[in-house]
Structure 1
Amino acid sequence: MTAIASKAPQGSFFWRLSKKFDFAAERVIPDPLVFCLIFTVVLFFCGVLLTDSSAIDMAQYWYDGIWSQIAFAFQMSFMVVCCAVAARSPQIAAGLNKLARLVRRPVSAVLMLMVFGYLASFVNWAFALIVTPVLAVALSKRIPGLHFPMLIAAGYSTMILGQCLSPTGTVFALLASPDHFLAGKIGAIAQTETTYNPANIVIWVVLAVITVAIAIMALPPAHEVVEFREETEARPEAEAGSAEQSGRSFADRLNGSRLLMWAIGVLGVVMIVNTVATKGLFSSLTLNFVIFVFLVLNFFLYSTPLKFITAYRDNLKLATDVMIQFPFYGGIAGMMAQSGMAVAVVGFFTSLATADTLPLYTYYATSFVNLFIPSQGGQWIVQGDITVDAALLLGADLNLVINAFVYGDQATNLLQPLYVIPALAVVGMRLKDVWGYMAFLWCIWFVVTSVALVLVPKFF
């Protein structure tokens, strides 16, 4: 990325405000790995000092938590690589360039990116997480004047907020099943009551519109724009292709076999179609299924085994941060959950609540706990029982409390760097490049959501 130097006005109020966050992030925010190491140390001592857990107990919780996330770490790493390989293919690049040609001005580009991000997130969060920054790159290459860090932060926010109205949201889907672990207390709750109740729809629309408006109003003046700069790196595909063409041996012909690629690709397509036909589209959209779709797509995008494996080798380095850091966050979640600190935090907030204010305090409690347990399903396992008990005891609107839980779980993903790491890896950015803008958006969400959770339900 490179800054455009010229004299220009200071920009809008929202741009100047966002710069204060960016200024702080540039000097304070370390590498994402340092984040999780600090969280680990802080939680370890808090557990020893504030709970009945001994130092050995906390160490054991940390150890157990690390290994509980190994499968998820591999899933996320594989997803990053598969999506990056697809996104960097000539065919996908050409398609995104055609989409980018539909807009010509920065405002239109921001609007397109965010609408695309919301729609993609409704389908699946992992799909939106990777494809949205890829579209941001395509737009930035074509349209001058786009501030790339803000574009990435705004696009990432659509993935987060989209989960609050998505039928594939973990908690919404879990509670709709008849055999979830709280079914004895509350039964199965249809998504028409949780995801799509009127109050939640209104709150979501308000937040979505405000986020888009802020992203547009916070566009910088020309002299402060930081544009996307593509790293130039050797692409051995041409060499691979020439090797295939010049190869005369049987092994060379196998390395250049299109038939093998098509055979595996067609087999994958059969399984994709069969899965959707059997389970339905939304029930099929698990993390494994999304990864598999991109894997199969790559068999068609890269026509020979040699080109295929070369593309994966070139992109494997993008998975480094994900592979290392996800297990560490598993250790953090293990300490938070098994020591009882998570339940204590939730209990403190719910003890302050009434029937009318429980959604608000649930939002606060969940936002805090999500900093240490950045998994909606895992957090619901820890927090769900006490949250439901409080709602039943106080006679609060359970559906709204569930909505507040989801908003809290998603909101602090703007502060917690775990899920933005894959998106940054795909576009080659550092956390400090975008964290200030993410924190800026979180502050706005915090105020708007707090007000909305109190006022909007009064109209329904």
Structure 2
Amino acid sequence: MSLMDMDNAGSPLWRLSKKFDFAAERIIPDPLVFCMIFTVIIFVAGVLATGNAPLAMAQFWYDGIWSQAAFAFQMAFMVVCCAVTARSEQVSRGLDRLARAVARPATAVLLLMVFGYLASFLNWAFALIVTPVLAMALSQRIRGLHFPMLIAAGYSTMILGQCLSPTGTIYALLAGDHPLAEKIGVMPQTMTTYNPANIVLWVLLAGLTTLVAMRTRPSGDEIVEFRQERAPVAEPEPEPEPDGFAGSIADRLNGSRALMWAIGLLGAVMIAFTVARNGLFASLSLSFVIFVFLIANFFLYNTPARFIAAYRDNLKLATDVMIQFPFYGGIAGMMAKSGLATVIVGFFTSISTANTLPFFTYLSSSLVNLFIPSQGGQWIVQGEITVDAALQIGASLPLIVNAFVYGDQATNLLQPLYVIPALAVVGMRLRDVWGYMAFLWCIWFAVTSVLLLAIPVFF
């Protein structure tokens, strides 16, 4: 095949990725439907595999729904706070200047991937929102970028970045006082996040993912470029009265920069004090990260009127998270209380050896994550039995933790919950990007499986 023919047909990786389009167009429903299907599957499986009565499974589901109420609010509020930051005028200008640094599609993809990894190291929710904002800036300046693939590739950086991020839920949990500390002690992040095996695994997987994203090029007539009219349009911000004595007292308060600076400085003092007292990594709890972005927005939107208008406009990005998390809490409740999760994890650990347990942990974590898309919630269900198996057969505990994290993160490419806010930012549907996400997951699954089987031999 000539070079011209290859250009007309797209790159080999593009032609391979297109094989996933059928599922995306014909099979993939709206994300909420995933919740309903998974609920039915786990309900039936719990009755058949564990012997629980249907009424008992219904009670487990009901109890689980309300167990996630606080966490659902935290996750939704974090998405909104990060979206407000990422879509602020100052951050948008910075991303636009960054987009001007490249002029070719391949270098634009490389920039997006590197930026996404770095943003994910800081915080996954910020990366989730700011990466598609950068993708829009790049697409508006550089022709020839296939926008759905750009969004899927950028989303993958948020997922994979959490496998080497100090803010990762399990890595941060195990580095402090955690429920399994009496069995395994405190595991600092030098032992879990930054052990040599994990660094090698992450670098190989991140490098390959970046290369695949750069080399997956559609033919000219198949390129879907970003269209500005697709993106949600922000509501016009109210024009506050200037500081001073003009206007009513209410107008002056709504436009008060002094109030915003006062609250912002108070929050900044507490951020600095917390980091000075606990250290940076130890401070990066979920609540602290949310607080940092909340306080940043007091400076980015310098009046109360602009501040609340930005939050109103971005609240819709949290709709799916708020609705779906309670349902996934119900699924988690059924899996945990019925014993179904123990059955699944126990099966994989029962057929493992010290060298194969990382691989089977990866498999079980990938499977369980489809139904419990919360790393912390999944660890509650799966963590203790996995740790017990590692201790009994003498497997590397840090590598087992890494395998759990990779499994938990990988199937977020198939499980649609977390990509919804990113799609809302750019006005796209799940079916527009799911085929590319599934394509990347297949590559990750093959490469990670091989590496997790090979790494115990060398580390």
* TM-score tier (shorter): over 0.9
Instruction: Give 1:244 shift.
Output: 9.4
Instruction: Give 1:236 shift.
Output: 4.8
Instruction: Give 1:243 shift.
Output: 10
Asked if residue 196 in structure 1 is aligned to residue 194 in structure 2, the reply is yes
Instruction: Give 1:158 shift.
Output: 1.2
User: Which residue of 1 is the match for residue 264 of structure 2?
Assistant: 265
TM-score when scaled to structure 1?
A: 0.93
Between stretches 281-290 and 348-357, larger displacement belongs to 281-290
Structure 1 gap ranges (5+): 1-6
Work out the CA distance in 1 between the residues paired with 2:452 and 2:136: 35
Instruction: Give 1:339 shift.
Output: 0.8
User: Which residue of 1 is the match for residue 384 of structure 2?
Assistant: 385
Amino acid at match of 1:429: M
Work out the CA distance in 2 between the residues paired with 1:214 and 1:459: 27
Within a 5 Å distance, the mapping from 1:13-412 to structure 2 comes to 13-177=12-176, 179-231=177-229, 235-237=234-236, 239-241=238-240, 248-412=247-411
Between stretches 440-449 and 153-162, larger displacement belongs to 153-162
Query: Relative to structure 1, is the Cα distance of residues 92 and 195 closer, same or farther in structure 2, using a 3 angstrom cutoff?
Result: closer
The Cα offsets for residues 281-316 of structure 1, whole Å up to 9 and x where unpaired, read as 222222222222222222222222222222222222
Other structure's SS at 2:354 match: coil
The Cα offsets for residues 78-98 of structure 1, whole Å up to 9 and x where unpaired, read as 222222222332222111111
Query: Relative to structure 1, is the Cα distance of residues 307 and 392 closer, same or farther in structure 2, using a 3 angstrom cutoff?
Result: closer
Instruction: Give 1:453 shift.
Output: 0.9
- The answer to whether the Cα contact below 8 Å between 1:8 and 1:223 also exists between their aligned partners in 2 is no
User: Which residue of 1 is the match for residue 3 of structure 2?
Assistant: none
The Cα offsets for residues 148-182 of structure 1, whole Å up to 9 and x where unpaired, read as 111111111111111212222222222222x3222
Instruction: Give 1:106 shift.
Output: 1.2
Counting matched residue pairs gives 453
Other structure's SS at 1:308 match: helix
Instruction: Give 1:346 shift.
Output: 0.8
TM-score when scaled to structure 2?
A: 0.93
Work out the CA distance in 1 between the residues paired with 2:204 and 2:263: 46
Work out the CA distance in 1 between the residues paired with 2:370 and 2:64: 15
Structure 2 gap ranges (5+): 1-5
Instruction: Give 1:235 shift.
Output: 4.9
Work out the CA distance in 1 between the residues paired with 2:184 and 2:84: 44
Query: Relative to structure 1, is the Cα distance of residues 189 and 81 closer, same or farther in structure 2, using a 3 angstrom cutoff?
Result: closer
Amino acid at match of 2:222: E
- The answer to whether the Cα contact below 8 Å between 1:153 and 1:437 also exists between their aligned partners in 2 is yes
Work out the CA distance in 2 between the residues paired with 1:52 and 1:337: 14
Query: Relative to structure 1, is the Cα distance of residues 124 and 249 closer, same or farther in structure 2, using a 3 angstrom cutoff?
Result: closer
Alpha-carbon RMSD? 2.1
Between stretches 116-125 and 97-106, larger displacement belongs to 116-125
Structure 1 stretches of 4+ with a deviation exceeding 6 A read 242-247
Other structure's SS at 2:9 match: coil
Query: Relative to structure 1, is the Cα distance of residues 237 and 267 closer, same or farther in structure 2, using a 3 angstrom cutoff?
Result: farther
Work out the CA distance in 1 between the residues paired with 2:192 and 2:234: 48
Instruction: Give 1:403 shift.
Output: 1.6
Query: Relative to structure 1, is the Cα distance of residues 310 and 144 closer, same or farther in structure 2, using a 3 angstrom cutoff?
Result: same
- The answer to whether the Cα contact below 8 Å between 1:124 and 1:285 also exists between their aligned partners in 2 is no
Query: Relative to structure 1, is the Cα distance of residues 166 and 317 closer, same or farther in structure 2, using a 3 angstrom cutoff?
Result: closer
Asked if residue 441 in structure 1 is aligned to residue 446 in structure 2, the reply is no
Instruction: Give 1:426 shift.
Output: 2.5
- The answer to whether the Cα contact below 8 Å between 2:414 and 2:438 also exists between their aligned partners in 1 is yes
Work out the CA distance in 2 between the residues paired with 1:257 and 1:73: 32
- The answer to whether the Cα contact below 8 Å between 1:256 and 1:304 also exists between their aligned partners in 2 is yes
Work out the CA distance in 2 between the residues paired with 1:391 and 1:235: 51
Percent of pairs identical after alignment?
Answer: 72
